[in-house]
Amino acid sequence: MKYRLYILLLLLVFTVVIVSLSFLDNDLETLSKVAVVAKKPSIVVNQVGYLPQWHKRAWLRQNLAFSSSNSVPNIPAKLIATDSNEVVATIELQPSTLDQNTQDLIWDIDFSAITKPGTYYLQQGKIKSVPFKIAEDVYQQPLITLLRSYYLQRCGVELDDPVTGISHAPCHLQDAAIAHQDKYYPSGKVISAVGGWHDTGAYSKYVATTTVTIARLLTLYEQYPDLFPDNQLNIPESGNGIADLLDEMQFALDWLLKMQRPDGAVYRKLSGKKWPMGLAPDEDTQPRYLYGISTPETAKLAAVMAIASRNYQDNPQLATKYLTAAMSAWQYLQQQPTMQVEWVEGDDTGSDKYLASEFDREASLTTDIDDRLWAAVELYITTGKADFANYLASNLAQVEYTLFEWKNPAPLGLINYLEQNRQPTSEALVTQIKTKIQQRADLVLNNTRQNAYRIANDRFIWGSSKMTAEEGITLVYAYHLTKNEDYLIAAKDQLDYLLGRNHFNQTFITDIGTNSVKNLSHLYVRAKNIRLPGLMVGGPNGDAQDGMVTKNKGQLSYIDDLRSYTTNENAIDYNASIISLIVNLIKAN
């Protein structure tokens, strides 16, 4: 009898599961461990919208496994104005293509001919898209929201934000003690390192991500200062006559200065020994430590301080301070001709590693040549000294042009070398750099052509959203060099993917787009049930280190779940990448 009851119970549970799955038909349905994909057909579109002159394409998607039960009628799509419900255009569907990764059938809906500003949606039969805009200023508010995310993650100060209502008392005011004795300080010696930005969905602070974030954003300011005025972000410094972006970057730059030892060397990171689960920033009162001198981080600091020195020329004292820090870091590197990283087992019990590991396997993490080359380029642009130009000439062949990130920051230096007009350039070096950029762009352009969703990034690992944005930026640079529209169209495809034109019909940013990330993996969010707007999450991750998604499913290895830190967590450098992609696309036109 017990055996029969057990069998009946199993059958009942199985029935409940099947019935429950039958109701999981909404467009936002994500892949879980049981590999449920979005069943219903849907029209997926960039949920923010388009500049009038942009190429505009949406996808009508239908998963092959459910095509018989939810067939798509063979009728045109309609572009409809939301305010009047007027049909603005009727668009014939292009023949479908099969995306091998998701097993989605994709029909192309091209409405590029429509340039009239307004709010619209697409409809095909009973299938409707979310609303989106066509407007010259369609990205004005999203950029503000993305940029304000840095203010919301400031460390060491009181936060009382009038826009979001987020507030907490000053946090981590005892930062930080030396974790391990070195040539300057004994273990436990407290060195003031208050400030900077919280990172990676927690309260740790990293030189690797802070440097590349600031560099990416200050480069945007250097190129397009008109886009970043004072009073733009509604932060405490607004109204001081200085661009809010410069104010926010200075907050983090001044923290980086505290991470530099008197001899120019730089500590890698600052964190506690435990993850402060369930605590707001000001409730995390555990001792926090400075970890490990590192030549890669020292070179990154040299590079970003050189960039900062150029961007703060209106404050000569500050510009000099930043350049002095850059030169000090470079002098230390000359005394350490090979890569040196101080790391001890146990250093990562309460923070991320940000070194070569089983998760971060790129060859660039086994050398610091890329970091040193970046530093040399930025110092050359700032100072004009021949030693830095000579370093670039001697080492350029050793450095691969990939996407710009903490693992290989050299690509930004190479771009800046091409685009700057402060110092003379070598024709031979310019030719080599252009060749490297175009070779990379051709590779990722081919990726978009091989993928029905037109995603340039073919590595769905930790931080794939950022990687997609960075590949888009490379495509924009290739467009600048060649004026080949194919690169520019492909670059816009990357933005479309990140803003909703994907299998999930979801943007990968909190509070941007109709269907945005709802369950950010962030300690503050989890502890206080708050929302942090404008944070781009890591996105699909086929390595699935947290066990929350099925491995090796490409775009499908994603879930909007606050427990999924490997797919739904933000890092500060992710935002810098999407901000840069948006700005570069706006200015490309």
pTM for the model stands at 0.93
Considering only CA atoms, which of 475, 413, 488, 395 is closest in space to residue 438?
475
Contacts of the segment 333-341: beta carbons below 8 A, 24+ positions apart: 333/264, 333/295, 333/298, 333/299, 333/302, 333/372, 333/375, 336/295, 338/295, 339/295, 339/296, 339/366, 339/367, 339/368, 340/293, 340/294, 340/295, 341/268, 341/292, 341/293, 341/294, 341/295, 341/296
Beta strands in 398-454 (DSSP E): none
Q: Return d(Cα 312, Cα 403) in angstroms, integer.
A: 27
Q: Return d(Cα 29, Cα 81) in angstroms, integer.
A: 27
Phi, psi of 278 (to 5 degrees): 75, 10
Q: Return d(Cα 506, Cα 490) in angstroms, integer.
A: 20
Give me the residue spans of the domains in the chain.
Answer: 42-134, 139-145+155-425, 441-589
Contact 167, 160 (CB under 8 A): yes
Q: Return d(Cα 56, Cα 132) in angstroms, integer.
A: 11
**Maximal CA-CA distance, the chain:** 89
Q: Return d(Cα 119, Cα 134) in angstroms, integer.
A: 6
Ordered per-residue pLDDT tens for the chain, 589 residues: 333 333 333 333 333 333 333 333 334 444 334 344 677 899 999 999 999 999 999 999 999 887 765 677 789 999 999 999 999 999 999 889 999 989 999 999 999 999 999 999 999 999 999 999 999 999 999 999 999 999 999 999 999 999 999 999 999 999 999 999 999 999 999 999 999 999 999 999 999 999 999 999 999 999 999 999 999 999 999 999 999 999 999 999 999 999 999 999 999 999 999 999 999 999 999 999 999 999 999 999 999 999 999 999 999 999 999 999 999 999 999 999 999 999 999 999 999 999 999 889 999 999 999 999 999 999 999 999 999 999 999 999 999 999 999 999 999 999 999 999 999 999 999 999 999 999 999 999 999 999 999 999 999 999 999 999 999 999 999 999 999 999 999 999 999 999 999 999 999 999 999 999 999 999 999 999 999 999 999 999 999 999 999 999 999 999 999 999 999 999 999 999 999 999 999 999 7
Residues 6+ apart with CB under 8 A from 448: 454, 455, 456, 490, 493
Check residue 18 and give its pLDDT: 36
Residue with tokens 């070779």: 439
DSSP 3-state of 540? coil
Considering only CA atoms, which of 127, 118, 121 is closest in space to residue 70?
127
Considering only CA atoms, which of 195, 48, 69, 215 is closest in space to residue 132?
48
The highest-level CATH class for domain 139-145+155-425 is mainly alpha
Q: Is CATH 3.10.20.30 the right assignment for the domain spanning 42-134?
A: no
Strand order in the sheet with 177-178: 177-178, 288-293, 267-272, 205-206
CA angle 457, 458, 464 (to 5 degrees): 55
